[in-house]
Every structure is written in C-alpha cells, then in structure tokens.
Amino acid sequence: MQDISIYLPGILLAYSAFLLAIASPGPNVLAVIGTSMSVNRSSGMALAIGVATGSFSWAVLTVFGLSTILAAYAEALLIIKVFGGLYLLWLAYKSFKSAASSHDIKAAELAGGLRTPFGYFKRGYIIQMTNPKAALAWIAIISLGLKDGAPLWVAAAIVFGTFALSMAVHLLYAIAFSTPIMVRLYSKARRVIQGVLGAFFAVAGLRLLMSRG
C-alpha cells in the first residue's frame, strides 16, 4: 500500500497529461473526426481503434526504451526529465497560441478513397506510428509517471491505463463527430479548451523540470 501512495500521484499526472493531450486535435484526431463526418461512424471508429493501438505501441516502446537507458545510465533520468519538461512547455506555448488564433479546426476525409474497416484501422495505426511528435509526447508522459527505481507495475499501469483512455476518447470522437453539430459546439469552446490545456501543460512542464525524484 505504501508503494501505491508513492507512485499513484505520478501515474495520475501521466494520465491527465495524456488525456488533455488528445483533447487537443492533432493529425490523428482530425483524421478520426473527418472520417466520421465524411464517410460514416463505423469507419471513423475503425480508424479510432487503429490510432489507439498505435498509441499503445508508442507507450510500450517508450517504457522499454527508457527502462533500458536508465538501467545502463542512472543519471540519464535527469536529462529525460529536462527534455520532457521542455516539450511540455512547448505544448503549452502551442496551446496558448491556438487559443489566441481565430483559425478553426479543419477536418477532412483521408486521401485514397473508401476503405474496408480493416483498411481504416491500418490507416489509423500508420498515422499514429509515423507521427514524430508522438514519440516526443510519450517521453514527456512517461517521465511524469515513472520515477527512478519504480517497479514494473507502475510502467504497466501507465501503459494499459493510457491505452484504455486512448481507446475510449478516440471512439468518443468518432461517435460524437459523426454529426456536424458537434464540430460547431467544439468550435465555440475551442479557445477556452486550448487555454486550459496550455495552463496544464505549463504547470506539468515546470513540475517535471523542478522534480528531483
């Protein structure tokens, strides 16, 4: 029980960072929204499952990669935390910039014509795995929750917890944005949402930079 009290705040912070990161539409989210609107809900859901599976793959690769590095170089944790903190501050800047912009989100159908459900799943997976920002984001997210000397269950909790969140949120996007009214509602609240995201990323980034453990 003592271990849980030690590691739970970091795990929850990693969940929060991940959840808010996918609340801000990037290429993967826009692809899901555009497919649901332009094709149909089931195609958008297949794409969403592919994106979530890609997110899970990045999480696993990042955990094993960081664990290997830390096992060989214990002092590397400080460098990883600095890098992760700076990336979160960059996300904060991007969110604040988006909040100040008058440009709205642009969701469009994927190029290449209609696909089978598996084709949309595969396309979603490829979109996520070929997004270079995903690797940077996962380094920051894992750094928030993975303390030096943390047991294996902490990494597993972060990986499987974020996978469940990714699956739920991306499917929610596919279902909700299969109707144009949701895009209009999001557009009205976009600036407020981006402002809140910017504040969270700024706090999380500073916390990571000032962290010692």
Per DSSP, the residues of 128-183 read HHT-HHHHHHHHHHHHHH--TT--HHHHHHHHHHHHHHHHHHHHHHHHHTTSHHHH
Looking at residue 161, what is its pLDDT? 94
Looking at residue 1, what is its pLDDT? 47
Minimum mean pLDDT range among 18-22, 43-47, 154-158: 18-22
For residue 9, CA distances in Å to 15, 34, 146 come to 10, 36, 11
> Of all residues in the chain, what percent carry a pLDDT higher than 70?
84
Which has the closest alpha carbon to 20: 169, 186, 145, 132?
Answer: 169
Confidence of residue 28 (pLDDT cuts 50, 70, 90): confident
Which has the closest alpha carbon to 162: 52, 83, 66?
Answer: 52
Contact status, residue 32 vs residue 180, Cβ threshold 8 Å: no
Confidence of residue 20 (pLDDT cuts 50, 70, 90): confident
Token pair in block for residue 164: 């469940």
**Using one digit for the tens of pLDDT, what is the confidence trace for 63-87?**
887 766 655 665 666 777 787 778 7
Residue written as token pair 């739970």: 8
Long-range residue pairs from 8-14, CB within 8 A, at least 24 positions apart, any chain: 10/144, 10/145, 10/146, 10/147, 10/154, 11/145, 11/154, 11/157, 11/158, 11/161, 13/144, 13/145, 13/204, 13/207, 14/141, 14/142, 14/144, 14/145, 14/146, 14/158, 14/161, 14/162
Q: What is the mean pLDDT of the chain?
A: 80
Residue written as token pair 């808010």: 20
**Using one digit for the tens of pLDDT, what is the confidence trace for 90-99?**
878 877 887 7
Contact status, residue 41 vs residue 180, Cβ threshold 8 Å: no
Average of pLDDT values for 39-44?
87
**pTM of the entire structure?**
0.75
**Using one digit for the tens of pLDDT, what is the confidence trace for 158-170?**
999 999 999 999 9
Looking at residue 160, what is its pLDDT? 94
Residue written as token pair 């999001």: 186
Residue written as token pair 């609340």: 23
